[in-house]
Amino acid sequence: MLKVKNINTYYGKVHALKNVTIHLAQGEIVALIGANGAGKTTILNTLSGVIPARTGSIQFLGEPVETLPPDRIVKIGISQVPEGRQVFKGMTVADNLELGAYLRFRSREPREQIRQDMRHMYELFPRLEERKKQMAGTLSGGEQQMLAIGRALMARPRLLLLDEPSMGLAPLVVQEIFGVIERLRRDEGTTILLVEQNARAALKMADRGYVLETGKVILEGAAAELLENPEVQRAYLGKEKKEIWER
Amino acid sequence: MDLADQIAQYMVSGLSTGAIYALIGIGFAIIYNSTEIINFAQGELVMLGGMFTLFFLETMKLPLPLSILLAVLATIASGVLFERLTIRPLKAPTPLSLIIITIGGSILIRGIAMLVWGKDTHALPAFSGSEPIAVGSATILPQHLWIFALTGIAIVSNKLFFQYTITGKAMRACAVNRRAAGLVGIDVRRMVLFSFAISGGLGSLAGIIVAPLTMTSYDVGIMLGLKGFCAAIIGGLSGGIGTVLGGLLLGTLESLGAGLISSGYKDAIAFVILLLILFIRPQGLFGRAQTERV
Ligand SMILES: Nc1ncnc2c1ncn2[C@@H]1O[C@H](COP(=O)(O)OP(=O)(O)O)[C@@H](O)[C@H]1O
Ligand SMILES: [Mg+2]
């Protein structure tokens, strides 16, 4: 479905992605893990057309997409849930969701279909329905994350890019959100590229994974194998020290 | 006429100029919210509104309503063209370079207007006569009523547009979080263009409805632009009620100050208010500036 080949992305002189090659098959959940500053967000932003790659190719459903601007990328079916949620804080929850369907409004899709998807989002995230008239900025971190996911889903993406959805959230909320991600794949066949620092949780859910270090892919493989890989365990899973909630 | 009557009279004219300032101020706010720049050419769009009307009315001999409509459209086109030629081509825009460009643009537009229409002041006919109407102890001109009505309609439609249409919401989204707006598929540059179009429309309307009362010339944009800017600052650069109140407040204070103290102070009042606000309450008098700007 997605084939990324040898992309190099720069911030001015900073060489942030070095010959990154990854691929995703239809219906997969693929985890992208790596330390802070490894280039995970940069990969997603390159895919979304926010920071185009200087060299390399990106194919989505067989079409080259590496030169498309962000709005065209959304149009062809790739939506990103950005790092730090980035909801429209001064706007209501309902408006945020509606804006997720912006391009569908623009292409004159029947309103009823969009409304139906809104109801579906409220069903996925009942807490958003309770707060639909509230300003997004007044939501808790977990609710904002749900809203950011719901907003991206309103575009009906075929590929969903999730940037650290668990960041700064309590373990129970993380579970809830990961539950929704699994449900999306199961019920709707959405393909998901999941960026996480919470490597254990991400690999447990994913089919495959890539490990990124200073802009390079250093490891790739089935998620179960990566979980067993001693190097991954040492560097990203903190095998010796347990996560706080596991003690 | 006793003092109360005089005050009533000053209020009427103050509110009507205030309405004009509000329209211009909203134009500033809309562009500011989508680009974070103060468009110092806003006043020139106001001037173009009056001048284009004059052109269609006197040079082309078209009827007044049609002239007004065409002038609004021509000014919208000018606003769009201005954005296309000045803001959009910038590769790495910084607020400072953008501001300098809008100032340069305003000088250019004023210069062209002077070459085309000369330095004379021109008058537009009042929309429906100039027989004063008595309202209690004050009198009001039909043109004042036009100003109140058209400003009201423009402000309400503007509000409805931003509140209820998907394009309006998309423009607000750009103001709130440009990056995220791009990620949901909103073409941010298109929204910037729209903001120039809307500001051009509101500005030209202001310039047109005020012209029968105050005359117009190639340089009316300087003062009107600054007053509108002042209204927007009082309103915390909100594209809504804050700026409307800011305009009305400024208009009435000016009118009362000029009438009761001395007309020499009229323009100074705006600048004193502007400075006071910027020093004491930069978020505006009615500031909820952070959460609801449009
Ligand atoms: N806007 C930027 N300008 C310059 N360098 C940046 C910018 N954003 C990220 N970087 C650099 O690119 C590298 C990758 O960053 P990022 O993709 O955000 O990493 P991650 O998401 O894995 O934490 C880092 O070294 C970071 O300092
Ligand atoms: Mg990141």
Which residue of A47, A51, A68, A71 is the best one to mutate when testing the B interface, meaning the one whose CB has the most B CBs within 10 A? A71
**0.95 surpassed by pTM:** no
- Give B105's pLDDT tier (boundaries 50, 70, 90): very high
pLDDT in tens, B172-227: 999 889 899 999 999 988 999 999 999 999 999 999 999 999 989 999 999 999 99
- Give B293's pLDDT tier (boundaries 50, 70, 90): very low
Give strand pairing partners of A78: A159
B135 inside domain:
no
Contact in structure between B277 and B229 (CB atoms under 8 Å): no
The residue-averaged pLDDT of B250-277 equals: 88
CB-count burial class (<10 Å; 0-12, 13-18, 19+) for B61: exposed
User: Total domain count for chain B?
Assistant: 1
Looking at residue A172, its pLDDT comes to: 92
pLDDT in tens, B3-49: 888 898 999 999 999 999 999 999 999 999 888 889 999 999 999 99
Looking from the CA of residue A40, the nearest atom of ligand 1 is 22
- Domain containing B147 — which CATH number? 1.10.3470
pLDDT in tens, B53-77: 999 999 999 999 999 999 999 999 9
Q: Is residue B287's pLDDT more than 80?
A: no
Residue B75 CA, chain-centre distance (Å), reads: 12
pLDDT string in tens for chain A (247-residue length): 999 999 999 999 999 999 999 999 999 999 999 999 999 999 999 999 999 999 999 999 999 999 999 999 999 999 999 999 999 999 999 999 999 999 999 999 999 999 999 999 999 999 999 999 999 999 999 999 999 999 999 999 999 999 999 999 999 999 999 999 999 999 988 999 999 988 888 999 999 999 999 999 999 999 999 999 888 888 877 654 455 555 4
ipTM of the complex: 0.89
B177 inside domain:
yes
Domain of B38? Answer: 3-123+141-280
- Give B292's pLDDT tier (boundaries 50, 70, 90): very low
B238 interface with A at CB cutoff 8 Å = no
Q: How far apart are CA A243 and CA A155, in angstroms?
A: 35
- Topology, domain A2-88+157-245: Rossmann fold (3.40.50)
Looking from the CA of residue A163, the nearest atom of ligand 1 is 21
Torsion region of A85: left, alpha or beta (phi above 0 gives left; psi -120 to 50 gives alpha): left
The residue-averaged pLDDT of B227-252 equals: 92
Residue ranges per structural domain of chain A? 2-88+157-245
- Which listed ligand is nearest to A43 at the C-alpha? 1
Looking from the CA of residue A38, the nearest atom of ligand 1 is 22
CB-count burial class (<10 Å; 0-12, 13-18, 19+) for A22: buried
Could you tell me which chain B residue has the CA closest to the CA of A136?
Answer: B291
Please report residues of B whose CB lies closer than 8 A to that of A103. Answer: 184-185
- Give B126's pLDDT tier (boundaries 50, 70, 90): very high
Which residue of B33, B171, B177, B183 is the best one to mutate when testing the A interface, meaning the one whose CB has the most A CBs within 10 A? B183
Cβ of A42 less than 6 Å from ligand 1:
yes
The residue-averaged pLDDT of B85-97 equals: 84
Cβ within 8 Å of A, B 170-209: 170, 172-173, 176-177, 179-187
Pick from B176, B184, B292: CB nearest A102? B184
Looking at residue A239, its pLDDT comes to: 56
The helix-helix angle for B3-35 and B142-164 (nearest 10°) equals 30
Beta strands (DSSP E) in chain A are 2-11, 14-24, 29-34, 55-60, 63-64, 78-81, 159-163, 191-196, 208-213, 216-222
